[in-house]
Amino acid sequence: MPTHSNPPSDQHPTTDLNVSGLSHLNSNGDINMVDVSGKTATTRVAHAAGQVCFPTDIYAQIKAADGMTKKGSITQTAHIAGIMAAKRTHDLIPLCHPLPLDKIGLTFAYDDRANAITVAATVKVTHKTGVEMEALTAVSVACLTIYDMTKALSHDIMIEGIHLIHKSGGKSDYQYSSIE
């Protein structure tokens, strides 16, 4: 039976990458799942956000209908999709640990200046690893669901700005300041 191996080092160079800072790579640059068995379970929280931006006329139409389409409520459907996605993050993102999530919350807000619906997610767990990926996945899938529910109105829709806002409870806390 054939075995899989990493490509030769000239095809997979790690010299330009500080692998010591990447938790999913060992010192040889090989992929591995992080061992969290020695960590202490703590309450961990992550907040993420993103936006779905629309052409001005489409945004006005969606807002005037309070997010109701022939398919149903945009935000209610996206809310359920975001929760489902957070719960299935370990099935979607390689090397994520399956976690018994304590809380998954999503909010949706109209942003008139950006002609956008802003999606925010908060995920909480008491465990040995954080929930950043779960929060980001919830936002991503909720945004994709909004796109799916509105694409009949226009394909000039952009999903943008998906980012981690805050995380706490682990080895280090994080607060988003800006990318600049």
Q: How many CB atoms lie within 10 A of CB 15?
A: 8
Cα–Cα distance for residue pair 20/14, rounded to 1 Å: 11
| Catalytic residue from among 57, 148, 156, 173 | 148
Are 173 and 43 in contact by the 8 Å Cβ rule? The answer is no
Which pair of structure tokens corresponds to residue 107? 């909010």
Is 148 among the residues known to form the active site?
A: yes
H or E segment to which residue 124 belongs: strand 116-127
Cα–Cα distance for residue pair 157/144, rounded to 1 Å: 10
Angle at 46 between CA 44 and CA 49, to 5 degrees: 175
Binding residues for substrate are 95-97, 133-134
Binding residues are 95-97, 133-134
H or E segment to which residue 173 belongs: none
As annotated, the active-site residues are 148
